[in-house]
Structure 1
Amino acid sequence: MNKLLEIKDKAIKFYGEYEHFIFPAIKFVVALMAFITIDLNIGYMTKISSIPVALLLALVCALLPVNAIIWISSVMILLDMYSLSIEVAAITLVLFAVIYFIYFRFAPKDGMLAILTPICFQLKIPYVIPVAAGLLRQAYSVMAVICGTLLYYFLDGIKLNASALAEVVDKKGGSTTKLNVTMGQLLENREMFIVMAVFVLTTLVVYMVRRLNIRNSWTIATIAGVLIQLVSLLVLYLALGLTGKTIWLIIGSAISMLIGFAIRFIFMNLDYARTENVQFEDDEYYYYVKAVPKKMIATEEKVVKHFGNTGSLGKKIPRHNQENISKKSIAKELEVDEDIFKDNN
């Protein structure tokens, strides 16, 4: 445990010293993952769906605020949807307007959550997001999780029905059919609504439990959140006949548990054995405070011992002749007795 604490302290210190370089690198990696995910799944416009373009845009995002990743990703998605169908692009634009209203109204500082949610869905581990959001963010951050989940299921539905949307281009009433297929991805997707409801419940439960005045609240919150997701989604997947997702649900829940414990270790690793109850007062109130210290590595204090006249510390001795320095001049500068330089032999 002490070794882990030492590694954590060093990592925190390293991040504090090089934050101006590390955070842009993180934004670059997240943006690159987002753009590559878009290109691999809905890259209908070949001119922008390439690795060099993704690298260039990710580099730009590394120098801009986090929300720039959302805006650039939205433009790329709209261009891909326009290449597929103008009707699909119009519905996507309306959907983005709704998502942006929700996001910028309630959770404008949770851009990373909104971006990472579709990415984690693509990696088949979206169950990590509600647990992490409940531990690290506020209750309103659930809106960013909702926006990311909604976006993923909509784009996934478009991907699955891309051939059907392309085939009705020349048929009579083709636009109406496209609108029906596109809107069906939102209004008839029972799995999407179920997953969103479970994610909202998980995020809020984790958030409320980790704020309780109990020991190991973050650990209890993580376990509670993971169990809620696992049991709820397992039952609902079986009810909908989505048996192929149960394996990834179990794997994702295990990963969520590990990440939750890692977050607790980094941000809320407390030593409850040394808990202190403090009481003090001012002119108007009495205060009862419970102080729980963090687990930290005890640093050794270096003690420097000084011998002789310490008043001379830090003084500079002028050396007019480097090869022949008078003992008398040294004694005068150090304000000590000249006799201490005499040879006792």
Structure 2
Amino acid sequence: MTTFLEMKQKIKNFYGQYEIYIVPFLKFILALASFIWINSMLGFTEALNSPFVVVILALLCAILPANLILYLSFAMVIGHCYGIGIEVAAFALVLILFMLILFLRFSNKVNLVMIFTPLTMGLHIPALLPVGSGLLASPMAALPAGCGVIFYYFIDLVREQSAVLQNQDTEIPQKLKVLMDGLMKNQEMWMTMIAFVAVILLVYAIRTRAFDYAWRVSIVAGGVTYIFLMLIGGLFLNVQTSILELLIFSVIAILIGMVLELFVFGGDYSRTERLEYEDDEYYYYVKAVPKATVATSERNIKKINAAPEREEENKPNKKGAEYVVSRSREQWEPQGESLDSIPTERMERTSELEADALPLKDASEIKEVDFEKKLEESLKDL
């Protein structure tokens, strides 16, 4: 747990420091994933399949408001439907306007949930979307989640019925009937929509309660409810559902929800405090849950190398010693005595004097005295 808390703190600090770069990058990745998925599912218009066009549109989404991702995704779907036929594009336009006018205009702040819906369903972890939306968003997220389910199944319907829709012999009313029946009679779509809406509302209702570990309880309850609703729908609506796949990916969604709870909420219920106070009009009963944090210390290691001693400081001053030796020789040479003729006793005495002699300063180091200046100063005193 400590490792996760330290990682959370580091990620939080990193995000706070580089938020101006991280947010556009995340919007770029989300837009790129959405556009690539749409092209992989439809791909009936060559111009929209170009990687250059996809990257340019994703870059626009990175620097503009996030809801632009949703509107450009709508435009790409309509463009691909136009590659099949103008009647298919008209049907897609009417469907999108219907969702925008009746539902999405009430949930403008959480409309990005509609982008995540087909992506999570394409990754075969649909339970992650209602659980995550209930944890991170408001109950209004149920509207774009339901619209996202319709959006996903409409794209899947167009892909499956593309041969019929592109057939020139098929009349326009028949094409519209294929599209209408494919949506209205799709029991799997309605079952998934009901499960999404129910799980979002349930998770939000539980995680906003005041009891301990409400977030974790809501995650588990949401995952179990999703499994239960999908199994019940599969039994009564005759919808083929892979039970093993449903269980595995629902458990994965629950685990991811636990990670989200740790990084987004992360309350430490062991240190919960309950406070009571009042004023002139109300009594207040407050439950304070501190955040689980861990102190992180930044270690800066500085390598200090001792400066090498200069050889000149360690060397003895040989210049002064040589000067003393030369002076001692001069004391003997003028008297006509050679060093060889000097008695041994006198030689030893001279050696002792040389050893005890202090090194003399160099002539360049002796301070020069200006006698003329000294004389002028003395005369001034007189």
Structure 2 residue corresponding to 1:177, chosen from 169, 174, 177:
174
Structure 2 residue corresponding to 1:207, chosen from 190, 204, 209:
204
Distance 2:283 2:87 in 1: 65
The answer to whether the 8 A contact 1:237-1:246 is kept is no
Structure 2 residue corresponding to 1:272, chosen from 240, 255, 269:
269
Partner in structure 2 of residue 127 of structure 1? 127
Distance 1:235 1:281 in 2: 49
Structure 1 residue corresponding to 2:233, chosen from 229, 233, 236:
236
Partner in structure 2 of residue 198 of structure 1? 195
Distance 1:70 1:224 in 2: 30
Distance 1:157 1:275 in 2: 52
The answer to whether the 8 A contact 2:45-2:80 is kept is yes
- The answer as to 2:109 corresponding to 1:109 is yes
After superposition, what is the alpha-carbon deviation per residue over 1:105-159, rounded to whole angstroms, capped at 9, x for unaligned?
Answer: 2210113211010111111112110000111111111101011111001111111
Partner in structure 2 of residue 225 of structure 1? 222
Bigger drift between 87-96 and 234-243 goes to: 234-243
The TM-score with structure 1 as length reference comes to: 0.82
Distance 2:82 2:296 in 1: 60
CA RMSD after TM alignment: 1.7
Partner in structure 2 of residue 261 of structure 1? 258
Q: By how many angstroms is 1:50 displaced?
A: 2.4
Structure 2 residue corresponding to 1:248, chosen from 227, 245, 248:
245
Partner in structure 2 of residue 294 of structure 1? 291
The answer to whether the 8 A contact 2:118-2:151 is kept is yes
Distance 1:139 1:60 in 2: 30
The TM-score with structure 2 as length reference comes to: 0.75
- The answer as to 2:94 corresponding to 1:77 is no
Partner in structure 2 of residue 45 of structure 1? 45
Pairwise mapping of residues 22-61 of structure 1 onto structure 2 (< 5 A)? Answer: 22-61=22-61
Partner in structure 2 of residue 10 of structure 1? 10
Distance 2:39 2:271 in 1: 53
Aligned length, in residue pairs: 298
Distance 2:264 2:189 in 1: 32
Q: Structure 1 unaligned runs (5+)?
A: 302-345
Bigger drift between 245-254 and 272-281 goes to: 245-254
Partner in structure 1 of residue 333 of structure 2? none
Distance 1:180 1:300 in 2: 66
Larger radius of gyration: 2
Q: Structure 2 unaligned runs (5+)?
A: 299-382
Distance 1:92 1:99 in 2: 11
Q: By how many angstroms is 1:177 displaced?
A: 0.8
The answer to whether the 8 A contact 1:66-1:111 is kept is no
SS in 1 for 2:108: coil
Distance 2:164 2:271 in 1: 65
Distance 1:232 1:244 in 2: 11
Distance 1:249 1:294 in 2: 34
Q: By how many angstroms is 1:186 displaced?
A: 1.6
Partner in structure 2 of residue 88 of structure 1? 88
SS in 2 for 1:39: helix
Q: By how many angstroms is 1:298 displaced?
A: 3.6
2:294 is matched by which residue type in structure 1? Answer: I
Q: By how many angstroms is 1:245 displaced?
A: 3.6
Q: By how many angstroms is 1:34 displaced?
A: 0.5
